Amino acid sequence: QVALTSERYGLRRLPFSQLTHSDLAFFERLMPGRVVTDPEELKLFNVDWLKSVRGCSKLMLKPQTTAEVSQVLRYCYERNLAVNPQGGNTGLVGGSVPVFDEIILSTALMNRIISFDKVSGILVCQAGCILEKLNGYLEQQGFIVPLDLGAKGSCHIGGNVATNAGGLRLLRYGSLRGTVLGLEVVLADGSALDCLASLRKDNTGYDLKQLFIGSEGTLGVITAVSILCPQKPKAVNLAFLGCQSFAKVLETFTTCRAMLGEILSAYEFMDEKCMELVERHLNLSNPVTGSPFYVLIETSGSNSTHDEEKLNNFLEKSMTSGLVTDGTVATDDKKIKMLWSLRERITEALTRDGYVYKYDLSLPVAKLYELVTDMRARLGQSAKNVVGYGHLGDGNLHLNITAESYSHSLLDAIEPFVYEWTARHSGSISAEHGLGFKKKQFIQYSKPNEAILLMQRFKAMLDPKGILNPYKMLPCSR
């Protein structure tokens, strides 16, 4: 895969200051030993996870406290130095890496759990806590994080909140906009905003945290999070099923919701092309073969007998009515993890297939797969594979197109067609990945001009010099 630089997008560097020796000396005094200038070490943090965009930052800072973040931003604001906040760098739209020479502000060392209340289930932690480690800590207390992603082993909770990450548990627990109770944020000028509430109900004025959830580091740097965590389910069951058409996938979902009700926690779908890639590139074995579509259904509850009975009744009805042609069920941890890996590792399999064009869209559920079919017909032999999978319960399609290598003409065939198609069907061009660097110029397909102008006014008010994550999320207003 070849990383694309800013030249490909016709961007020019905004008139920010250049880094000087006196700047480096200031940062070394502030956080000795946590200032990275080695070009080899910086390479990893200048390129996104997909290796699709690359910046050229000459400096990465690793603060440990909110006070240090505050001092860094105050200094950068006064000096007019651009800053790129970075968590686990697992983003898929180029939002977490520099475009030019912005200073990388990493939250990697801000990984302390501040408190956890077992009665309320409220966790307070620093922004750099890795999602999987947080979940491991909570599981020991009988709770879980209300968020689960394929990148959980490296993504940071602060980055999850900054991008309003969706993931595999949204169907059951809702989005981070509902489960995050409070935030601590450092603004562009270095002032710290402590809205780290641990209350379920607080109806006093504007809900300021919502401004920063999903703001992708453009309005402030999230340094700590207060989040409501559900109890760990005592009984988890998984069903992996084959369906002969997408219409059957939809009908199975309707039946599933009606029969499983409150214990349904995930409903994922993937097409046979996804399974072929997972088997070929990752050597995983699919226990259910020969179907054009597959669905993964998870239930989680407090009574295994009750849950298994409901699931068995649903499966019996699905098989006898012809909705499902084949399937397997898992109740033990090992098999559950094996089945989940078939879904969670699709992204990894795709990256091994060649250069990947990734699209994360919200669409009316009935129309979800039509876009994949239309795109296959449109691209023909110019693409290697066109696949569709995603969180069907949330109306979220992941459309992925692979090719042997990056092709400008192939990108022109995909964009803006994919966004026009989505807008025509009243969808969103980003369901959960955000806009970042790659999608910012397409925001008008999902938001009216009045909304975009208001967003730009928020940005100008909170970051008048535009130093925070420039060139991202919003179309240039200057």
Q: Which domains does the chain have, with CATH numbers?
A: 5-106 (3.30.43.10), 113-228 (3.30.465.10), 234-345 (3.30.70.2190)
Beginning with the edge strand found earlier in the chain, give each strand of the sheet holding 221-228 in spatial order. 113-117, 122-126, 221-228, 180-186, 192-195
| CA distance linking residue 219 with residue 209, whole number of Å | 11
Q: Which residues pair with 358 in a beta bridge?
A: 400
36 beta partners: 60
Residue 338: name the closest of 346, 349, 348, 330 by CA.
Answer: 330
> At 411, is the secondary structure helix, strand, or coil?
helix
H helical segments located in 88-192: 131-140, 157-162, 170-173, 176-179
Which pLDDT belongs to residue 85? 98
Structure tokens at 352: 């091994």
Q: Dihedral of CA 338/133/142/260: which sign?
A: negative
Place of tokens 């060139």: 471
Residue 307 exposure: Cα atoms within 13 Å on the Cβ side: 22
The pLDDT score that the predictor gives to residue 4 is: 61
How many Å apart are CA 258 and CA 321, to the nearest integer? 15
Q: Measured between alpha carbons, how far apart are the two ends of the chain, in Å?
A: 32
0.85 exceeded by the pTM?
A: yes
Residue 147: Cβ within 10 Å count: 26
- Two tokens at 173? 């627990």
Using only C-alpha atoms, what is the Rg of the chain?
23
Calculate ∠ Cα 277-281-284, nearest 5°: 85
- The alpha carbon dihedral of 145, 147, 152, 154 has a sign of negative
d(Cα 29, Cα 185) in Å, to the nearest integer? 23
CA distances from residue 356 to 2, 347, 400, 442 in whole angstroms, order as listed = 11, 9, 7, 19
Who's near 334: CB < 8 A, 6+ residues apart? none
What are the CA-CA distances from residue 357 to residues 206, 307, 313, 386, 418 (Å)? 38, 39, 40, 10, 11
Q: With beta carbons less than 8 A apart as the criterion, state whether 277 and 388 touch.
A: no
Block means of pLDDT (10 residues each) for the chain, length 478 residues? 60 94 98 97 93 93 98 98 97 94 98 97 98 97 93 94 90 92 98 91 92 97 97 94 97 96 94 96 93 96 92 95 94 92 94 94 95 97 97 94 94 96 96 92 95 96 97 80
At 3 the pLDDT is 57
**What pLDDT does 478 receive?**
44
